[in-house]
A and B are shown apart, each in its own frame.
Chain A
Amino acid sequence: MSVFELSNVTYVYQSQYQRVEALKGISCRFEPGRLYAIMGSSGSGKTTLLSLMAGLDIPTEGKVLSDGVSTADIDLEQYRRERVAVIYQDFRLFPLLTAAENVMYPMELRGMDPASAKKRAAELIRKVGLPETTLDRFPAMLSGGEQQRVAIARALGMKTKVLLADEPTGNLDSENSYNIFKILEDLAHEDGYCVIIVTHDSELGERADMTFRLRDGQLI
């Protein structure tokens, strides 16, 4: 049974001067326990697609279905909070919160008490391969790979079935890229997450369980 499905999704950017169809009738399905890669060159519509899947917007036409429910019909805030977790290329960590606080954030957002959240954050930090000393450090004091791991730990803290990653290794060296990909792969295969990576890295694409390719807003 698919946890995620795109049904004839179209998205339009409208400016004063022109109208751009970023996505044109995209349809695909995603299963739990598998790692997907959505690939394409720059401007192919990858990030737009991810934004729709992340519940940051709804399609101009078509549907994004999560467990069979269209994102257009549900509270997007709740959707983002409870159904998908996103890892961004630029990590999107709160710069003024420590690594631990960043990881605790979604847990506390879901109502977990601070003490439990702190304990769980420590576990997750360890899980993504970071030492405990990382916990009290601010993002600016971490390397790119470390920040991305913190971002993954935060995403894990959300306890969602779907994990979206937007160019998760885009800012990382090959070693870090490998490590991050390994973590994501493990999360899909061992912990049963439906991990969807948006990337232009063909190497990552080849290692995914399934790869979708986008060109000019269409799947090829």
Chain B
Amino acid sequence: MFIRNGINSVLREKGRTALFFTLIAFLTIAMMLSLSVLLYCDAMMNACEETYRSIALVEYMGSEYPDEDEPDASARKTAAAVSDDAILSVDGVTAWTQGNTAAGSVEGYVRQSGSMPYGNRGVIIVSYISDPVYQWKERDENGNPDTTAEAFFYYTAILETSIYSRNQREGVIIDILPGDSGFVPEKGRHYVLNGSFPDTTRSASQIGDFPMNGLTVFRVESFFESEDPPYAECYGIEEVPEVFRREAEHCRTMNNYVRIVPCHDVNDVYVFHQNDLQLSEGSMPDANSPYSCVITADLAQSLDLHPDDSFTLSMLKQAEDDRYYLTATDEKQVFTVSGIANDSSDYGGTVWTIADDANTPLFGYLLGTVSLINNQAEKAVEELRAMMPDLVRVTLFDQGYNSAVQPFREVRKTSANVLTISSAGVITVLLLFAFLFIGRQKDSVKIMVSLGTPGRKIAQWFLSGALLICGGASAAGTVLAMLLRPAIISAVNWFTSSVRGKDDFLWYSETSVGMVKQMSFELKIPLWPNLTVTLAIILLAMMFCLAFLRLASRSGTRRKGRSRVRVPRGRTSLRHRGGLRFAILSIRRGGLRSLLVPLVSMVLTVTVITLSGMYQNWQRELDDAMDKLQVDGMAVSLNGTYYSNLALPVSAVRQLQSTEGITGVSVSFGFHYWLQEEMPAFGNGESGRWKQEIWIASQPELVALNDLDAAKDFYYADANAQWLPGWDETMLAETAVMPLLLRNPIMTVSDPIPAVCSTAFLESHGLNLGDTLFCQVIYENHAGRPIENTVVIQAVGSYAQSGGKPHIYVPLSFYLPPEMMSNGVFPDELRPVGVTDEQINLLFGRPTFRTCRFHITSARHLEEVRQRLRDQNFSSVRHISANRTTILLRDASFLKLKENMDRNIAIGRIMSILISLLIILIGFILSWLMTFSRRREFALMRGFGATGVRVFASFFMEQAILSLAGCLAGCLAFLKLYAGGMMQPLTVVSYLICYLLGTAVSIRMIGKTDLMELLTVRE
């Protein structure tokens, strides 16, 4: 009976029941969907953890970066200063692998690719040598050899046996250049020769202007470490002298070295991490199996190795200054093949093995690789950056983990907010429900009590009705949420994939450097959390109902013979009859009711102000970032990480200069320089010249540039140059000096070239700012012939050299007058007497630059600049376009900031609108309920003859005062959060208007109800 009556009572209150049923169902849907999305995001983030791997490369940004063969003392010193323990102590770091590699050799392996320092060297036996054939270097005007000019000679012979040569060709006719080796063969004899096979595809100067006739050329050259003649009479392989055998073995060993890369996990080795290499066979080695390894396909093929096979490498020792100058040691190491990498010519002959550090000298600039836990990687990298010495760059490569996981994080945050808000909404609605359906049923409770109804029966009555509404509503909400869930999850998938799938967004961006993995979105969410929510809502409703039932029952319970009576405080007489007076009196006597409205108004105002304040602050921060952050760009190699060995045509530079939104284009070109007195004696022979070339190639450069920004030294460090009074950096772009290409090699121009030198260089040579210095500079003329020149420089500025070589920076006009760069016209004031336009065009026909950097005028124009670069067909990283200059914009930090801000702003905007609407709706419903529940009071006033206007004014003013007080309190409390603009005040005013509108509507509705009906209505 009680259950039936309870249910009947509820069902008969149609309007209120429908309202609460709808509210609870709606909030249940909101809770469940937000919970589902939250769980889905969690699951996806976990899946991301499994799918992606994060590593950080720790690199020293020396001036020769990223030359991996460079023996840089500064890099080694820095590497020694990097503490292994400190790195490993950073949260999120799982392993630290130093960048040192080792080398070994194994019988049977013939290197087909990769660096082969002595790839063109050979020890051969020749026979059937011809008479010398003379060749004149010049031709007369008829095209015939000019026999009066300089000549050289060569022999033709048969290559009988290769003791060592890379291609092991035998039985072919070759041309032998004796050079200055002193080799004078006798006809009919056999000889063993040491020398090299010059690359005849290169310029003629490399092989002594030898007129290529299609035959293989062999140049006789001296031994590396022996003064013995590089030739000897020899009639068979058995007769080859020991010195020739040693030389052959040395070359073979050095060319066929095997690179050993120790690591803690091969998956975290950059080339595998970035998917440049993949496993074609076997599996990755177990991290707990020392010396199990992955080898390259060429090694596996040469040695016929398969997974689980073992092989032994003889360990080689590297020279301190040359990683390819290898000498044998007694040490041997056995490796077990776990997997074989797919073929890749760039990494031939490499073994990636589970081992500790190689304990070899560091070459290049990769100090090491840090393995990271994905979700802690960003923070860990920040910490690592903070602890690293100057000029050390820590770059995170996460395979796209962050871009994949970030949208899920944001969606999760939003869904958590929605869950919190809807949970708060559920609690509020359930409280209101319990209050209205049970708390205000004192009369019914009183009747039941007076009729002797036991407490549990009373509870049955009310709880059955409450259960019907709450249970029904939450069950309906659950069903609807389940039906809507796939659509919501699809929407999340669409959102997250669209956010991270912006290909256009990544063009020319350094954020595109590094491989990005894709992962699937198919995941299932368990049902139990949603069912728990349903149960929780029902239980909460029952709890609230029971609490209010207890309160309602108190009026009908035994008071043990003594009643306590509450007497209103303050004046109780209504002396004035004005609506305002009545409103104020009603507020004063309203008790909890009078507190509720201002309290809710205050909370809602604070929420609105906080939320819209956050949104506006994000917008402002983004605007500030747009204005303040400078994005710059550079020309790079195709993979985006290398910028050395560029040959950037002047046409590309002009294009960049003329691109709207790009400013401060700086370029550089370097010539190796040396001081005459510092050059070692190399001898006059071919071998001496060869060694001299190698020596010069390792010397620092005299770099012509128009801005220090273009210097590799200052890519990652500020120049902080000190200047001679009257000089500054502008001289690099403005000072006109005679271009090197126009200088006469014989006559040294005495006008010094202003230059910026390294402080260490000046000190080591006893120089001060303002002093002059003679330098030897070498360049190739238009015919590819090396020309040496002496230039005088004056040190007008100095910089702190932080590693690498002591490059000297001089004005760009030393290489190319800036006017020529911009309009192709050579300035007359620099033109030497007698030099024609034709000669100028010949000399400066196609200038190229080694580096190029520029700035974007404003980060606001980043996208436009990107589009303009696309329109001009520049290449983006890993995409060759018509314009083969690859451009990389260094925008990662800006984009990351912008991306976060944009996402916050977008979510903030949606949340602001939703919450504002919700708040406005709450305002409307609250005011409606607050007024409608007092309709008997209304009827009484009307019954006593109060006019409609008077009644309206009384109620309206009361609610207006209460809500306004709450809003003002909220505004005052959060005045600090006022972010300017009209959004916050407008939302608060909207709330007030809606609240008052709700009041007005409900008063109007009450006014339309029959007075008699109102007088009989239950409160």
Residues of A within 8 A of B (CB): 11-17, 54-61, 76-82, 86, 88, 92-97, 101, 104-106, 108-109, 114, 138, 140, 154, 158
- Write the nearest CB–CB distance from A140 to chain B, whole angstroms: 6
Residues of the A chain whose Cβ atoms lie less than 8 Å from the Cβ of B447: 92-94
Is B450 in contact with chain A by the CB < 8 A criterion? yes
Residues of the B chain whose Cβ atoms lie less than 8 Å from the Cβ of A76: 452, 558
A15-B567, A58-B560, A108-B1 known; 14 new pairs, CB 8 Å cut-off, are: A14-B563, A55-B452, A57-B559, A57-B560, A57-B561, A61-B561, A77-B455, A80-B452, A81-B451, A92-B450, A93-B447, A95-B444, A96-B9, A109-B451
Describe A's contact surface by its main secondary structure: mixed
Convert B813-853 into 0s and 1s, putting 1 for each residue whose CB lies closer than 8 angstroms to a CB of A: 00000000000000000000000000000000000000000
Query: Of the candidates B1, B13, B446, B560, which one forms a contact with A114 in the assembled complex, judged by CB atoms under 8 Å apart?
Result: B1
A97 touching B450 by the CB < 8 A rule? no
A56 touching B556 by the CB < 8 A rule? yes
Is B765 in contact with chain A by the CB < 8 A criterion? no
Residues of the A chain whose Cβ atoms lie less than 8 Å from the Cβ of B452: 55, 76-82, 106, 109
Q: How far is the CA of A16 from the CA of B564 in the complex (A)?
A: 8
A56 touching B449 by the CB < 8 A rule? yes
Closest to B447 in A: A92
Q: How far is the CA of A82 from the CA of B443 in the complex (A)?
A: 21
Given A92-B443, A94-B5, verify A80-B450 contact (CB < 8 Å): yes
Please, could you name 14 A-B residue pairs with CB atoms under 8 Å apart, sorted by A? A12-B562, A14-B562, A15-B565, A16-B566, A57-B559, A60-B561, A77-B455, A92-B447, A92-B450, A94-B447, A96-B13, A101-B8, A109-B1, A109-B452
- Write the nearest CB–CB distance from B804 to chain A, whole angstroms: 89
Convert B14-42 into 0s and 1s, putting 1 for each residue whose CB lies closer than 8 angstroms to a CB of A: 00000000000000000000000000000
Closest to A81 in B: B452
What 6 A-B pairs come out closest when comparing CB atoms?
A: A81-B452, A80-B452, A96-B9, A60-B561, A108-B1, A15-B565
Is B453 in contact with chain A by the CB < 8 A criterion? yes
Query: Of the candidates B5, B454, B566, which one forms a contact with A77 in the assembled complex, judged by CB atoms under 8 Å apart?
Result: B454
Residues of the A chain whose Cβ atoms lie less than 8 Å from the Cβ of B451: 80-81, 105-106, 109, 154, 158
Convert B562-581 into 0s and 1s, putting 1 for each residue whose CB lies closer than 8 angstroms to a CB of A: 11111100000000000000
Is B689 in contact with chain A by the CB < 8 A criterion? no
Is B457 in contact with chain A by the CB < 8 A criterion? yes
Given A80-B450, A109-B452, verify A140-B1016 contact (CB < 8 Å): yes
Q: How far is the CA of A209 from the CA of B565 in the complex (A)?
A: 35
Q: How far is the CA of A82 from the CA of B447 in the complex (A)?
A: 15
Q: How far is the CA of A54 from the CA of B556 in the complex (A)?
A: 12
Closest to A80 in B: B452
Given A80-B451, A81-B452, verify A17-B5 contact (CB < 8 Å): no
Given A58-B558, A93-B447, verify A105-B5 contact (CB < 8 Å): yes
B563 touching A57 by the CB < 8 A rule? yes
Q: How far is the CA of A96 from the CA of B450 in the complex (A)?
A: 17
Residues of B within 8 A of A (CB): 1, 5, 8-9, 12-13, 443-444, 446-447, 449-455, 457, 556, 558-567, 1016, 1018
Closest to B566 in A: A15
Closest to A160 in B: B452
Residues of the B chain whose Cβ atoms lie less than 8 Å from the Cβ of A11: 561-562
Q: How far is the CA of A81 from the CA of B454 in the complex (A)?
A: 9
Residues of the B chain whose Cβ atoms lie less than 8 Å from the Cβ of A140: 1016
Closest to A71 in B: B558
Closest to A88 in B: B450
- Write the nearest CB–CB distance from A159 to chain B, whole angstroms: 12
Q: How far is the CA of A81 from the CA of B450 in the complex (A)?
A: 8
Describe B's contact surface by its main secondary structure: mixed
Residues of the B chain whose Cβ atoms lie less than 8 Å from the Cβ of A109: 1, 451-453, 457
Closest to B444 in A: A94
Residues of the B chain whose Cβ atoms lie less than 8 Å from the Cβ of A61: 561
Closest to A113 in B: B1
Q: How far is the CA of A13 from the CA of B565 in the complex (A)?
A: 7
B1018 touching A95 by the CB < 8 A rule? yes
Q: How far is the CA of A88 from the CA of B13 in the complex (A)?
A: 25
B12 touching A96 by the CB < 8 A rule? yes
Q: How far is the CA of A61 from the CA of B561 in the complex (A)?
A: 8
Residues of the B chain whose Cβ atoms lie less than 8 Å from the Cβ of A92: 443, 446-447, 450
Residues of the A chain whose Cβ atoms lie less than 8 Å from the Cβ of B450: 54, 56, 80, 86, 88, 92
Residues of the B chain whose Cβ atoms lie less than 8 Å from the Cβ of A154: 451
A14 touching B564 by the CB < 8 A rule? yes
Residues of the B chain whose Cβ atoms lie less than 8 Å from the Cβ of A93: 447
Residues of the B chain whose Cβ atoms lie less than 8 Å from the Cβ of A16: 566-567
Q: How far is the CA of A13 from the CA of B9 in the complex (A)?
A: 35
Closest to A48 in B: B563
- Write the nearest CB–CB distance from B16 to chain A, whole angstroms: 11
Q: How far is the CA of A114 from the CA of B2 in the complex (A)?
A: 11
Closest to B1 in A: A108
Residues of the B chain whose Cβ atoms lie less than 8 Å from the Cβ of A105: 1, 5, 451
- Write the nearest CB–CB distance from A87 to chain B, whole angstroms: 10
Query: Of the candidates A80, A88, A108, which one forms a contact with B449 in the assembled complex, judged by CB atoms under 8 Å apart?
Result: A80
- Write the nearest CB–CB distance from A219 to chain B, whole angstroms: 19
B8 touching A77 by the CB < 8 A rule? no
- Write the nearest CB–CB distance from A218 to chain B, whole angstroms: 18
Residue among A79, A86, A92 with the most chain B CB within 10 A? Answer: A92
Closest to A12 in B: B562
Q: How far is the CA of A78 from the CA of B455 in the complex (A)?
A: 11
Residues of the A chain whose Cβ atoms lie less than 8 Å from the Cβ of B449: 56, 77, 80
- Write the nearest CB–CB distance from B296 to chain A, whole angstroms: 85
Given A81-B453, A82-B452, verify A60-B556 contact (CB < 8 Å): no
Residue among A86, A94, A140 with the most chain B CB within 10 A? Answer: A94
A97 touching B561 by the CB < 8 A rule? no
- Write the nearest CB–CB distance from B652 to chain A, whole angstroms: 86
A58 touching B561 by the CB < 8 A rule? yes
Query: Of the candidates B446, B457, B562, which one forms a contact with A60 in the assembled complex, judged by CB atoms under 8 Å apart?
Result: B562
Closest to B465 in A: A96
Q: How far is the CA of A77 from the CA of B456 in the complex (A)?
A: 12
Given A82-B452, A109-B453, verify A97-B5 contact (CB < 8 Å): yes
Residues of the B chain whose Cβ atoms lie less than 8 Å from the Cβ of A97: 5, 8-9
Q: How far is the CA of A114 from the CA of B444 in the complex (A)?
A: 21
- Write the nearest CB–CB distance from A145 to chain B, whole angstroms: 14
- Write the nearest CB–CB distance from A123 to chain B, whole angstroms: 19
Q: How far is the CA of A40 from the CA of B454 in the complex (A)?
A: 33
Residues of the A chain whose Cβ atoms lie less than 8 Å from the Cβ of B563: 12-14, 57
A96 touching B8 by the CB < 8 A rule? yes
- Write the nearest CB–CB distance from A88 to chain B, whole angstroms: 8
Closest to A106 in B: B451
Q: How far is the CA of A86 from the CA of B449 in the complex (A)?
A: 11
Residues of the B chain whose Cβ atoms lie less than 8 Å from the Cβ of A55: 452
Q: How far is the CA of A104 from the CA of B443 in the complex (A)?
A: 18
A57 touching B558 by the CB < 8 A rule? yes
Q: How far is the CA of A76 from the CA of B452 in the complex (A)?
A: 7
- Write the nearest CB–CB distance from A92 to chain B, whole angstroms: 5
Q: How far is the CA of A86 from the CA of B450 in the complex (A)?
A: 8
Q: How far is the CA of A105 from the CA of B1 in the complex (A)?
A: 8
Residues of the A chain whose Cβ atoms lie less than 8 Å from the Cβ of B444: 94-95
